[in-house]
């Protein structure tokens, strides 16, 4: 879903493989929480760690993070922070009992393939 979010948002993180590399280190199973909070946390954590050096897991080339300039990384941070805020909004809508609006907020965040039911 993170890669779909990235595509839906105009690919602020390039290459999208960087999301996979970051997820390998930042996201740890078991995921016992609710998906809403897992994604809110993922967006926040990835934003906080965007400027870290992310090595090629196969060690066949330079760090994957070297493919983005500092300016591109800042754009990605901004997009990830905005996504975290959007996730917070969706969570708050559900807390208010506005489940339909919450689901629509998730769909707005992730794109048209996010189910409305």
Q: Give me the phi and psi of 9, to 5 degrees please.
A: -95, 15
Query: What's the half-sphere exposure (Cβ side, CA atoms, 13 Å) at 79?
Result: 20
Q: Look at residue 16 and tell me whether its pLDDT is greater than 90.
A: yes
pTM listed for this prediction: 0.91
The confidence band for 26, taking pLDDT boundaries of 50, 70 and 90, is confident
Task: Supply the pLDDT for residue 29.
Answer: 75
- In 10 A of CB 43, how many CB atoms? 23
Please return the burial class of 87, using the count of CB atoms within 10 Å of its CB with bins 0-12, 13-18 and 19+.
buried
Report the chain's mean pLDDT, rounded to a whole number: 93
Average pLDDT rounded to a whole number, residues 27-41: 83
What distance in Å separates the CA atoms of residue 110 and residue 5, rounded to the nearest whole number? 5
Checking if the pLDDT of 33 tops 80, the result is no
**Is the pLDDT score of 108 beyond 80?**
yes
The domain ranges of the chain are: 2-110
């Amino acid at each position: 879903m993170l890669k779909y979010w990235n595509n839906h948002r105009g690919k602020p993180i390039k290459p999208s493989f960087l999301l996979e590399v970051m997820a390998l280190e930042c996201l740890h199973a078991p995921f016992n929480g609710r998906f809403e909070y897992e994604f809110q946390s993922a967006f926040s954590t990835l934003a906080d760690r965007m400027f870290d050096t992310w090595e090629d897991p196969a060690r066949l080339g330079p760090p994957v993070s070297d493919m983005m300039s500092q300016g591109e990384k800042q754009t990605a941070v901004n997009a990830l922070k905005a996504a975290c805020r959007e996730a917070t909004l969706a969570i708050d809508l559900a807390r208010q009992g506005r489940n339909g609006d919450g689901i629509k907020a998730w769909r707005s965040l992730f794109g048209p393939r996010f189910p409305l039911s």
